[in-house]
Amino acid sequence: MRRLLGIWSGITLAVLFVPVVVLFLHAGSLEQTIRSTAGRNAIEVTLGSGIIALAVDLLFGIPLSWILARLVRPKWRRWWGTLLIIPLLMPPLVLGLVLAYVVGPASPIGSTISLANTFAGLVIAQIYESLPFFVLTAWGYLGAIPRSLEEDVWVLGKSPWQTFWFVTWPMARAGFAIAAAMAWARIVGAFGAPVVVAYHPSGLPVAIWIQLQEQGLPAALGLALWLIIVSLPLPVWLNWRFSHVRYDR
Partner 1 sequence: MFAMTVRQRGRMEGQFELTPGMHAIVGSSGAGKTTLFRLIAGLEHHPSLKIRWNEQSIDRLLPHQRPVAYVPQRPSLVPHRTIEDQIRWIAQGSLPHWSHWIQWLNLEELLNRYPHQLSGGEQQRAALLRALVAKKPILLLDEALSQIDRPHRVSLYRKLQETLGEETLLLFSTHQWEEAEQFSEYVVFLQKGRIASSNNITQTVPVDSEMARMMGYVGSVPVPDGHLLIHSRTIVLGQSLGPSLHISGQGYQQPVSPTLSRYHFLSDDGRLLLEWIGNPSETTQFDDISIINPVLVPFSLPSTQGGG
Binding interface with partner 1 (CB under 8 A): 148-149, 151-160, 166-167, 170-171, 245, 247, 249
For the bound state, the minimum distance from the C-beta of residue 234 to partner 1, rounded and expressed in Å, comes to 23
Please report how close the Cβ of residue 245 comes to partner 1 at its closest, in angstroms: 7
Query: What's the CA dihedral at 192, 195, 197, 200 to 10 degrees?
Result: 150
Q: Could you give the C-alpha distances from 143 to 19, 53, 146, 202, in angstroms and in order? A: 35, 25, 8, 37
Question: Given the complex with partner 1, which of 24 and 154 has the nearer CB atom?
Answer: 154
Closest separation in Å from C-beta 160 to partner 1 = 7
- Which CB atom, from 112 or from 159, has the smaller least distance to partner 1? 159
Choice between 160 and 218, CB closer to partner 1: 160
Q: In whole angstroms, give the CA distance from residue 41 to residue 119.
A: 12
- Our CB check for partner 1 shows the closer of 133 and 176 to be 176
What's the min distance (Å) between Cβ of 148 and partner 1?
A: 7
Alpha helix segments (H runs only) across 104-244: 108-112, 119-143, 148-154, 160-163, 169-188, 192-197, 204-215, 217-231, 233-242
